[in-house]
A and B are shown apart, each in its own frame.
Chain A
Amino acid sequence: MSFAERMLHIDRRLIFLLIGVCTLLPLLYPVGLAIKVSPEVHGVYDYIEALPEGSIFLLSMDYDPASKPELYPQAVALLRHAFRKNLRVIGMTLWLPGTGLAEQVMTKVAGEMGKVSGKDYVFLGWSPGSGSLIINMGQDLYKAFPTDYYSQPTRELAVLKGIQTLRDVNYVVSLAAGTSGIETWYLYGKDKYKFELGGGCTGVIAPGLYPLLRSGQINGLIGGMRGAAEYEVLIGQKERAVAGMDAQSATHFAIILLVILCNVFYLLIRTSPKQGEAR
């Protein structure tokens, strides 16, 4: 076997080790390179920044623990921004496994910012149905959620005063990890009930949402951990997402190096004179 062939058949555990080291070292010894903010993320930030105090902001945390590293920092940054602007925040999720995480992020950030459940924000929790749930909320919010997550009757909550349906919500942001996310909110929600819609999503589904961004169906898109880092820069509170960007840089360059090496070895094999028949 030639050197190039041996290199292409290298034990994959060495590659795993390389990725592990490229991820761990920047986490232990961060550099802190500058992060440029994209227009997509600005779209969401500028809209929230322009909302008057007391506006209704609905954050739908449509993800499960698998997507926590990408979407949890987005949720934290958005909630901090919304609470700083004194918006009335409604939290919920379309994904059953994400209910605990959604509750944790709301109570954590609300506690930090001195906000009170029922008065400044409400956590509605999860309800089955995705599309039918959104339609139900669009028809009558109190029929969809007669009680909040803590069994308080929603009609009696001060934070929901004056809201009857989704038409009364000023801005909805869906943080999505897959199906039952941004497209669902548009299809069964914004199409009929005409609220403004923004999105946050994992890196895997982000490219697929650009048609909606370009057509104005969503007014902004926060893509992956990079998007979360950009939002943290905008609100001036750099945390986990920004801290992860150095490791992101290192791993991306590791992958680029691996791809280049793979192609160099492949080219060497293709252009070398043919080997003898017997080994």
Chain B
Amino acid sequence: MIFLRRQLPLLITFVTGVLFAAQYYVPHPRSEFMLTEVTKWLQIIGGFALVLGVTSLFHIHAVKIRRKEPGWGYSLVLYAGILGTIAAGFSYSFAAGQWVNGKETINGIMTAFGWVYLNMMVPLQGSMFALLAFFIASAAYRSFRARSREAALLLIAAVIVMMGRVPLGEMLLPVSGDVTQWILNVLNAAVRRAILIGISLGAIALSLKIIFGIERAYLGGGKE
């Protein structure tokens, strides 16, 4: 039983990891067939992973409602949103003459599900993120101070790029556009390249640790 709970998962990780790392270098038709089939399976399994995320959200708000914690009314609104959207997604569209089945439009006719998406989800998500514009301005005013030479350099680069990427800046100071291009294509590219190489090396190290069973945090779930 210990083998099933502890060793088997590690063995599966090792075998699959080595197999698919090696597959990259083996163009044989059987190897390609295995890649095609298993990536198809991964897609399906990935779909199940979405279920996990959703159920934990349900649980948190169900507890809030049951215990009548402060703000539990809003949890009811959340549930109403979930159930209303699901109902719209599986409703019958009289205009289109068929079941919606999760489609936003049927033959060019907008369904209730499409209406909820375009008139509720899109404006809500868009507005949530539009708020950031205000907060970045407030943060820039309160904390973007040139406390040292390095901070001053950061500030100057930021101002040049902000000027160089708008028509008014390019009109008032034409050189800002050219300097911005140089900063982005040379200085910024150099830094991002170094960061990319560093992160990639780190990712490979982590993947190897996972494959060889040194890193086991991903397993989680259940007693040993």
Asked whether A179 is an interface residue with its Cβ less than 8 Å from the other chain, the reply is no
Nearest chain A CB to B48's CB is how many angstroms away? 9
B128 adjacent to chain A (CB < 8 Å)? yes
Interface residue? A226 (CB, 8 A): yes
Would you call the interface of chain A mostly helix, strand, loop, or mixed?
helix
Beyond contacts A68-B122, A207-B188, A263-B144: 14 other A-B pairs, Cβ-Cβ < 8 A, are: A15-B138, A15-B141, A20-B134, A34-B171, A36-B170, A66-B129, A107-B108, A133-B39, A136-B40, A140-B36, A249-B166, A249-B169, A252-B165, A263-B146
CB of A211 within 8 A of chain B? Answer: yes
**Are the C-beta atoms of A252 and B169 separated by less than 8 Å?**
yes
A210: which of B143, B144, B168, B189 is its contact (CB, 8 Å)?
A: B189
A25 in contact (CB, < 8 A)? no
Q: Is the CB of B137 within 8 A of A15?
A: yes
Is B47 a contact of A16 with CB atoms below 8 Å?
no
CB pair A36 B192 closer than 8 Å: no
Contacts of B121 in A (CB 8 A): 65, 97, 100
A144 touching B40, Cβ below 8 Å: yes
A86 at the interface (CB under 8 A from B): no
Q: Give the secondary structure class of B's interface.
A: helix
CA A145 to CA B36, docked complex, whole Å: 13
Which range holds the interface residue count of chain A?
35 or more
> Which single residue of chain A is at the shortest CB-CB distance from B168?
A249
Among A38, A64, A127, A132, find the residue whose CB has the most chain B CB atoms closer than 10 A.
Answer: A132
B19 to chain A, nearest CB (A): 14
**Given contacts A16-B138, A97-B121, A263-B145, are A129 and B126 in contact (CB under 8 A)?**
no
Instruction: Take A19-B134, A65-B126, A258-B141 as given contacts and tell me if A245 and B166 are in contact as well, using a CB distance cutoff of 8 Å.
Output: yes
A residues 127-150 near B (Cβ < 8 Å) are 127-129, 132-133, 135-136, 139-140, 143-144, 149-150
Partner of B155, one of A23, A128, A263: A263
Is A256 in contact with chain B by the CB < 8 A criterion? yes
A104 to B125, CA, bound (A): 17
A207 pairs with B192, CB closer than 8 A = yes
**Taking A97-B121, A128-B47, A263-B155 as contacts, is the C-beta distance between A255 and B140 under 8 angstroms?**
yes
Q: Pick from A35, A210, A255: contact of B137, CB below 8 A.
A: A255
Chain B positions within 8 Å of A99 at CB level: 104
Is A214 in contact with B185, judged by CB distance below 8 angstroms? Answer: yes
Cβ-defined contact, A259 with B117, below 8 A: no
Residue of B nearest to A165 (CB): B36
Which of B47, B104, B141, B170 makes the CB contact (< 8 A) with A100? B104
* Residues of chain A lying within 8 A (CB to CB) of residue B50: 96, 128
Shortest CB distance B100–A (Å): 13
Q: Is A157 an interface residue (CB 8 A)?
A: no
Interface centre among A149, A249, A254 (most CB of B within 10 A): A249
Chain B residues in 8 Å Cβ range of A38: 181
Instruction: Tell me the B4-43 residues at the A interface (CB within 8 Å).
Output: 24, 32, 35-36, 39-40, 42-43
Interface size on B, residues (CB 8 A): 58
Is B93 among interface residues, defined by CB-CB distance under 8 A? no
What residues of B have a CB within 8 angstroms of the CB of A39 in the complex?
181
Residues 68-101 of chain B, each 1 if its beta carbon lies under 8 Å from chain A, else 0: 0000000000000000000000000000000000
Complex A-B: 26 CB contacts under 8 Å: A12-B142, A15-B137, A16-B137, A38-B181, A65-B122, A66-B126, A68-B122, A97-B121, A104-B105, A128-B43, A136-B36, A136-B43, A139-B32, A143-B36, A207-B188, A208-B192, A213-B185, A214-B193, A246-B168, A248-B166, A255-B137, A255-B140, A256-B159, A262-B140, A263-B144, A266-B145
A214 touching B146, Cβ below 8 Å: no
In the complex, the chain A residue whose C-beta lies closest to that of B174 is A36
Would you call A101 an interface residue if the criterion is a C-beta within 8 Å of the partner chain's C-beta atoms?
yes
Contact status A261-B36, CB under 8 Å: no
Confirm or deny: A8 has a beta carbon within 8 angstroms of a beta carbon on chain B.
yes
Residue of A nearest to B32 (CB): A139
Q: In the bound complex, do residue A16 and residue B122 qualify as a contact, i.e. CB atoms below 8 Å apart?
A: no
* Chain A window 8-22, contacts with chain B (Cβ cutoff 8 Å), 1 for yes, 0 for no: 100010011011100
